[in-house]
Amino acid sequence: MLEVDGLNVWFGEGATHVDAVQGARFFVDEGESFGLVGESGSGKSTILRAITGLAPGWSGRVEVDGRTVYRDRRDRRFHKTVQMVFQDPYASLHPRHSVDRVLSETLWLHGMDRIDSRVPQLLEDVGLGPKFRFRYPHQLSGGQRQRVAIARALAGEPRLLLLDEPTSALDVSVQAEILNLLADLRDERGLTYVMVSHDLSVVGHLCQRLAVMQSGRIVEMMEVDQLRRGQADHPYTRALIAASTSGGRTSRAAE
Amino acid sequence: MSLLDVENLRVSFDTRQGVVEAVRGISFSLGQERLGIVGESGSGKSMTGRAILRLIRPPGRVGADRIALEGEELQSLSERQMRKVRGRRISMVMQDPKFSLNPVMTVGEQIMEAYLLHARDSRRAARRKALEMLEAVDIRDPERVMKAYPHEVSGGMGQRIMIAMMLIPDPRILIADEPTSALDVSVQRTVLSIMDGLVRERGMGLIFISHDLNLVSEFCDRVLIMYAGRIVETCDAARLHEARHPYTRGLLNSLPRLDQPRGRLEVLARDPAWAEGR
């Protein structure tokens, strides 16, 4: 579904040139969920941004669904196949557009018909009732906003969703709801996910395979089963695992 | 005697839609210990910390039967006297060092200012104290960091600088409001253990406000769990996993765990009775 090879991404030119990603290589099969993990500045979100065209300075090969993605143009078919959900639902929705307008506009851009009946359907798909249709973002909680952002991403019926820290701005109980929603949508629609997160337990919950990134490079690729057993080769991965399981003073004691 | 006694603390805001009660009558006391306050956004945990330091501005209103610092009632102090309490006796570390450090002042100047505001001492002595303090928070090259501006240091280092600045007047109590939420997982624990070490060494009281149950259970002795402006449960941090209240249990169960894979995460079913403090 997604193939990335020799991907370099940079920002700035000359003296301000920064290499954000160097030689990234991975593939994601159809229906699979793949995680990108690392600390801030490691380049994990930048990879997603390069694929969608939000980071224009990149080289290498990116293929989506067998079709090469070019740096400067993405056709309608690309956008119908790939959609992205951003970290901060407070920033990713237009504050003065109602939910109805956000979704209708997106549907129209995807060339959909019967927009009036699709909007309530989309809302229902993400677990929001019809009463949310004419609300504005400030009238919604963080979790509800993220549901609207997911509905917007689903509007064009994509097959690949790029999830950039979709739950890190949310409370843990709301995070659980959104992770369950993402799992349900994946099962119903056979979606492929690429999920960026700094939280290993979130990636472990939703994904089957993951890549660990450090300062712009992928340092380790592993299966989630390996992760659970703590079988990591790279010292950085081991440090990450230690950081996210030592919080388990409660969990260890519970066993 | 306990360091801080809070009885029936209330914080409310008058809005166009009516009165919003953010904190609804909570009581607790703090000794030379590390007390965690946990809750979700909107539970009133940050408001509690701010109310103690009288940092809530109108239209917010604070009321309490008692807010006593080492036996002295804080509510009867004038604003001028209150300024002597802030920093000198109770200090506060906030979430994001980017917003709490002055961007146009060097790190050294800021730390020295924090010291000189409360101590009668020479600039030279202040400088020496600042360097010592930076070393105490594990900053390797304090001379260089003294001359740096906040944008030249990383988030983790910024938060360590904040901790240095807050501890230099030698306060009795430190209130840390989500001190590591803006930091990467890998540096969170380093920053917390530095803070933890200093607080213990000096026999201070710590109020650690966070939404992260695991972090709190690791770095505190006792935990208050807040829901809708009330304390629903108090327990020993080490026994957090034995918590009884359905809200606490729900929070613990909604976390994905590496060691126990589950198909679906438990979703919190909120009971209106919790908001009544039952």
Amino acid in position B172:
R
State the average pLDDT over residues B106-113. 92
| Phi, then psi, of A47 in degrees rounded to 5 | -60, -45
pLDDT digits (tens, 9 = 90+) for A8-46: 999 888 888 888 899 999 999 999 999 999 877 788 889
Which range among B105-114, B203-212, B248-257 shows the weakest confidence by mean pLDDT? Answer: B248-257
Residue with tokens 């108090």: B234
User: Is B258 in contact with A241 (Cβ distance < 8 A)?
Assistant: yes
pLDDT grade for A241, boundaries at 50, 70 and 90:
confident
State the average pLDDT over residues B154-179. 88
User: Is B241 in contact with A254 (Cβ distance < 8 A)?
Assistant: yes
> How many Cα atoms sit within 13 Å of B9 on the Cβ side?
29
CB A192 within 8 A of CB A31: yes
Whole-number average pLDDT of chain A: 88
Is A68 in CB contact (< 8 Å) with chain B? Answer: no
Joined together, the tokens standing for residue B200 give: 């213990």
Whole-number average pLDDT of chain B: 88
pLDDT digits (tens, 9 = 90+) for A155-177: 989 999 999 989 888 888 888 98
Instruction: Determine the pLDDT at residue B215.
Output: 85
User: Is A180 in contact with B189 (Cβ distance < 8 A)?
Assistant: no
| Phi, then psi, of B144 in degrees rounded to 5 | -70, -40
The percent of residues in chain A predicted with pLDDT above 70, rounded, is 96
pLDDT at A189 over 70: yes
- Chain B contacts of A246, Cβ < 8 Å? 189, 218
User: Is A180 in contact with B265 (Cβ distance < 8 A)?
Assistant: yes
pLDDT digits (tens, 9 = 90+) for B187-238: 788 888 888 888 888 889 999 999 888 888 888 999 999 998 999 999 998 8
Is B189 in CB contact (< 8 Å) with chain A? Answer: yes
User: Is B184 in contact with A39 (Cβ distance < 8 A)?
Assistant: yes
A206 min Cα distance to partner chain B (Å): 9
Is B261 in CB contact (< 8 Å) with chain A? Answer: yes
What is the spatial order of strands in the sheet that A217-223 belongs to? A82-85, A160-164, A192-197, A33-37, A209-214, A217-223
Instruction: Determine the pLDDT at residue B1.
Output: 67
**Which one of A171, A179, A243 has the shortest CB-CB distance to B256?**
A179
CA-based nearest residue in chain B for residue A173: B254
Which range among B22-36, B55-69, B81-95, B175-189 shows the weakest confidence by mean pLDDT? Answer: B175-189
Element of type H or E holding A67 = strand A67-68
User: Is B254 in contact with A201 (Cβ distance < 8 A)?
Assistant: no
State the average pLDDT over residues A181-208. 92
Rounded to an integer, what distance in angstroms lies between the CA atom of residue A192 and that of residue B200? 49
Does B259 or B25 have the greater pLDDT score? B25
Is A38 in CB contact (< 8 Å) with chain B? Answer: no
- Chain A contacts of B211, Cβ < 8 Å? 171-172
Joined together, the tokens standing for residue B4 give: 């801080």
User: Is B238 in contact with A249 (Cβ distance < 8 A)?
Assistant: yes
CB A7 within 8 A of CB A21: yes
Rounded to an integer, what distance in angstroms lies between the CA atom of residue A88 and that of residue A198? 14
H-state helical runs in chain A: 44-52, 76-81, 99-109, 115-125, 142-154, 172-189, 200-206, 224-229, 235-245, 249-254
Is B212 in CB contact (< 8 Å) with chain A? Answer: yes
Joined together, the tokens standing for residue A107 give: 């549907």
Instruction: Determine the pLDDT at residue B15.
Output: 86
Is A142 in CB contact (< 8 Å) with chain B? Answer: yes
Is B241 in CB contact (< 8 Å) with chain A? Answer: yes
Rounded to an integer, what distance in angstroms lies between the CA atom of residue B237 and that of residue B36? 8
User: Is A240 in contact with B185 (Cβ distance < 8 A)?
Assistant: yes
CB B146 within 8 A of CB B131: yes
Instruction: Determine the pLDDT at residue B182.
Output: 75
Instruction: Determine the pLDDT at residue A92.
Output: 87
ipTM greater than 0.90, yes or no?
no
Instruction: Determine the pLDDT at residue A250.
Output: 36
State the average pLDDT over residues A63-70. 90
State the average pLDDT over residues A74-98. 89
- Nearest of B167, B168, B169, B2 to residue B69 by alpha carbon: B2
Cα distances from B155 to residues A40, A99, B91, B144, in angstroms, run 10, 35, 20, 17
pLDDT at B51 over 90: yes
Is B53 in CB contact (< 8 Å) with chain A? Answer: no
CB A34 within 8 A of CB A28: yes
Amino acid in position B179:
P
Is A168 in CB contact (< 8 Å) with chain B? Answer: no
Q: Testing the interface with B: which of A42, A172, A195, A246 to mutate, by most B Cβ within 10 A?
A: A172
**DSSP secondary structure of chain B:** --SEEEEEEEEEEEETTEEEEEEEEEEEEE-SSEEEEE--TTSSHHHHHHHHTT-PPTTEEEE-SEEEETTEESTTS-HHHHHHHBTTTEEEE-S-HHHHS-TTS-HHHHHHHHHHHHS---HHHHHHHHHHHHHHTT-S-HHHHHH--GGGS-HHHHHHHHHHHHHTT--SEEEEESTTTTS-HHHHHHHHHHHHHHHHHTT-EEEEEES-HHHHHHH-SEEEEEETTEEEEEEEGGGGGG--SHHHHHHHHTS--SSS--SSPPPP---HHHHTT-
pLDDT grade for B278, boundaries at 50, 70 and 90:
low
Q: Measure the N-to-C terminal CA separation of chain B; round to a whole number of Å.
A: 30
**DSSP secondary structure of A133-165:** TT--GGGS-HHHHHHHHHHHHHTT--SEEEEES
Is B83 in CB contact (< 8 Å) with chain A? Answer: no
Is B15 in CB contact (< 8 Å) with chain A? Answer: no
Question: Which residues on neighbouring strands pair with residue A25, listed in sequence order?
Answer: none
**DSSP secondary structure of B239-269:** GGGG--SHHHHHHHHTS--SSS--SSPPPP-
Joined together, the tokens standing for residue B133 give: 């303090």
pLDDT grade for A246, boundaries at 50, 70 and 90:
low
Instruction: Determine the pLDDT at residue A248.
Output: 43
State the average pLDDT over residues B179-185. 79
- Chain B contacts of A39, Cβ < 8 Å? 184-187
- Chain B contacts of A179, Cβ < 8 Å? 256, 265
pLDDT grade for B157, boundaries at 50, 70 and 90:
confident
CB B133 within 8 A of CB B168: yes
Instruction: Determine the pLDDT at residue A72.
Output: 79
CB A60 within 8 A of CB A86: no
Joined together, the tokens standing for residue A119 give: 């909007």
Q: Testing the interface with A: which of B15, B40, B157, B186 to mutate, by most A Cβ within 10 A?
A: B186
CB A43 within 8 A of CB A9: yes
pLDDT at A252 over 50: no
User: Is A248 in contact with B251 (Cβ distance < 8 A)?
Assistant: no
CA-based nearest residue in chain B for residue A180: B264
User: Is A175 in contact with B258 (Cβ distance < 8 A)?
Assistant: no
A101 min Cα distance to partner chain B (Å): 26
- The correct CATH number of A2-254 out of 3.40.50.300, 3.30.1050.10, 1.10.540.10, 3.40.800.20 is 3.40.50.300
- Chain B contacts of A241, Cβ < 8 Å? 258
Question: What are the residue boundaries of the structural domains of chain A, listed by start?
Answer: 2-254
Residue with tokens 């001379």: B143
Residue with tokens 């036996």: B71
Is B105 in CB contact (< 8 Å) with chain A? Answer: no
Using a 10 angstrom Cβ sphere, with 0-12 exposed, 13-18 middle and 19 or more buried, the burial of residue B29 is middle
pLDDT at A148 over 90: yes
User: Is B217 in contact with A199 (Cβ distance < 8 A)?
Assistant: no
